[in-house]
Amino acid sequence: MKRKEIIQALIKTKQNEIPFEVIQRDMEIPLNSKQIVTIPGVRRCGKSSLMMLAINALVDKGVDKGRILWLGFDDERLYDLSTDELDDIITGYMEMYPDVSIKDVYMFFDEIQLVDKWELFVLRVYKSYCKNIYVSGSNAQMLSQELSSALRGWPLEYEEFPLSFNEFCRFNNVPVRVFTESERAKLKNTFIEFNHSSAFPEVVLIPEKSMKERKLQGYFNTMLFRDLVEHYKLSNPEMVRYFLKRVMANLTKPTSINSIYNDLKSQGLKVSKDKLYELADHVCSIFMFFRVPKYDKSIIKENNSLYKYYIIDNGLRSAVLLPQSGDDGKLLENTVFLHLRRNCKPTEKIFYYQGTKECDFVFQQNESITELIQVTWSMVDEETRQREIDGLLEASQISGCENLFIITYEEENEILANGLIIKVLPAWKWLLQART
């Protein structure tokens, strides 16, 4: 079968699946923005589902299925697609629907970063043929540096994540109302499951725990070998695996790349320090990790400080490392970070504070610090309670912010300390509150 024929078959197959059976997500992408809409995010987080939901909405509004052009570039028949062959998409579609004006078509390109110089093709199509273009990809560098430089500010970006707690409840048919004690208990139990397991949509819908773990290990291996080793042409997969596991193990703590380098060196694994720093960039580019800088009024000190790393999914970490004792607090802090990051606007930034005391999250909007957040599983222990309070107070004194929070598993009250009110909230309730 010729390449164009394969493309035509894929387009037709997808059209035959409309309307798609897909569960609603919290985020919706615009239908008629007349701009290129990009959907970055980690593999299997639901980027395709967002596009399917958009297609369902278009069809509901009267758009004919024939005006939907969907192409998933992760199909093995398109793995070696060259830049020159991208024109077959347009010509192939026009042969299928000669009576449809190409400007009236809605184009959906899934995992398009797998094709070299794809952004030039998208730009040309946008300029010459069609304004309704949706692009998804699993590489942040691709959707920021390459795309923004090629498309010169045209794209609208809608970053997708694995399920939020609200979506996790929806996928598990758990109402998020709390009118009765039984509903409250159900939500709390669902939160414990959410905090300790995976939020990847496909994994959530798998009933058997062993199958969930097998699926997550498959995700990890795909990210390791395809997204990192193959994409970035890395020569030592075992070194990469070790690096990933070290960062996972050090979750929520400042991570020294230099220390990992010395450990690798002591084990006889050869890698340059520069390559290791590049690898740290790569693992963030594929959305496996996010890194958080230290807050400091001095930009020089801030840039020279160690990053904290947070992982895209708690269940992915557990499937690779196996659950560890004392993980409750780490996983909760990671859950809180993901919620903050998911709702982060372009004008907002997330830091951590470390001075004499520590504060987990410093939330900045424009040039002002708007929130200080501590995360701890429990404050029953008086020493833990005082540590969390002291960290907030010191960070407040340094930053000038008086909007203070402690997120716990189930405690809820207000603490008056040094004339400041600290709001203590249970994580399940905090996660369901809309951030403004």
Model confidence pLDDT, tens digit, residues 214-250: 999 999 999 999 999 998 999 999 999 999 999 999 9
Asked if 169 and 193 count as a contact pair (C-beta separation under 8 A), the reply is no
Q: Taking a C-beta distance cutoff of 8 angstroms, is the pair 261, 276 a contact?
A: yes
Question: From CA 397, how far away is CA 389, in angstroms rounded?
Answer: 12
Judge if 296 and 369 occupy the same domain: yes
Give CA angle at 332 (244, 197), nearest 5°: 65
Give the tokens for residue 90: 């347009």
Vertex 428 angle, CA 426 and 429, to 5°: 70
- Kindly tell me the burial class for residue 316, based on how many C-beta atoms sit within 10 Å of its own C-beta (0-12, 13-18, 19 or more): buried
The answer to whether position 194 is within a domain reads: no
Q: pLDDT of 302-316, one tens digit each?
A: 667 999 999 999 999
347 within some domain: yes
Q: Which two tokens stand for residue 159?
A: 């970053």
For residue range 195-211, what is the model confidence (pLDDT) as tens digits? Answer: 999 999 999 999 999 99
Point out the domain boundary residue: 99, 133, 157: 157
154 pLDDT more than 70: no
Count: domains in the chain? 2
User: Do both 152 and 78 map to the same domain?
Assistant: yes
Whether 262 and 323 share a structural domain: yes
Please state the length of the chain. 436
Whether residues 262 and 141 share a domain: the answer is: no
Task: Give the model's pLDDT for residue 148.
Answer: 60
168 assigned to some structural domain: no
Segment 61-66 mean pLDDT = 97
- Alpha carbon distances (Å) from 35 to 31, 59, 139: 10, 20, 20
State the pLDDT confidence band at 267, using cuts at 50, 70 and 90: confident
pLDDT tens figures, 83-131:
888 999 999 999 999 999 999 999 999 988 888 888 889 989 998 999 9
The amino acid occupying position 275 is K
Question: Both 249 and 351 in a single domain?
Answer: yes
Structure tokens at 258: 């230099």
Looking up tokens 């669902």 gives 190
> 143-168 in b/e burial notation, b at 16+ Cβ within 10 A?
beebbeebbeebbeebbbbbbbbbbb
Domain-located, residue 189: no
From 117, 139, 157, give the residue that closes a domain. Answer: 157
- Cα 52 from Cα 134, distance rounded (Å): 11
Give CA–CA dist 230/65, Å, rounded: 36
The residue segments making up the domain with residue 351 are 207-432
Tell whether 397 and 261 lie within a shared domain: yes
> In 61-146, which ranges are continuous DSSP H helix?
87-96, 118-128, 140-141
**Section 177-196 average pLDDT:** 92
- Asked if residue 192 is part of any domain, the answer here is no
- Is 346 domain-assigned? yes
- On whether both 138 and 262 belong to a single domain, the answer is no
Answer whether residue 392 is part of any domain: yes
Indicate the SS3 state at residue 426.
Answer: strand
Of the candidates 31, 23, 24, 73, the one whose C-alpha atom is nearest the C-alpha of residue 54 is 31
Q: Percent of the chain beyond pLDDT 70?
A: 94
Are 145 and 212 found together in one domain?
no
Q: Report in angstroms the alpha-carbon separations of 95 from 90, 108, 252.
A: 9, 18, 54
**Residue 186: inside a domain, yes or no?**
no
Residue 152 pLDDT greater than 60, yes or no: no
pLDDT confidence band for 301 (50 / 70 / 90)? low
pLDDT tens per residue across span 2-30: 889 999 999 999 999 999 999 999 999 99
Q: Are residues 151 and 211 in the same domain?
A: no
* CATH (domain of 42): 3.40.50
Asked whether residue 271 falls in the same domain as residue 388, the answer is yes
> Which residue stretches of 197-287 are H helix?
201-204, 209-222, 237-249, 257-266, 273-285
117 conformational bin, left if phi > 0, alpha if psi -120 to 50, beta if neither: left
Q: What is the pLDDT of residue 180?
A: 87
Give the pLDDT score at 300: 62
Q: Are residues 240 and 369 in the same domain?
A: yes
The verdict on 103 and 226 lying in the same domain is no
Give the residue-averaged pLDDT of 146-155: 60
**CA dist., res. 395 & res. 415, Å (int):** 16
Strands 358-365 and 348-354: antiparallel
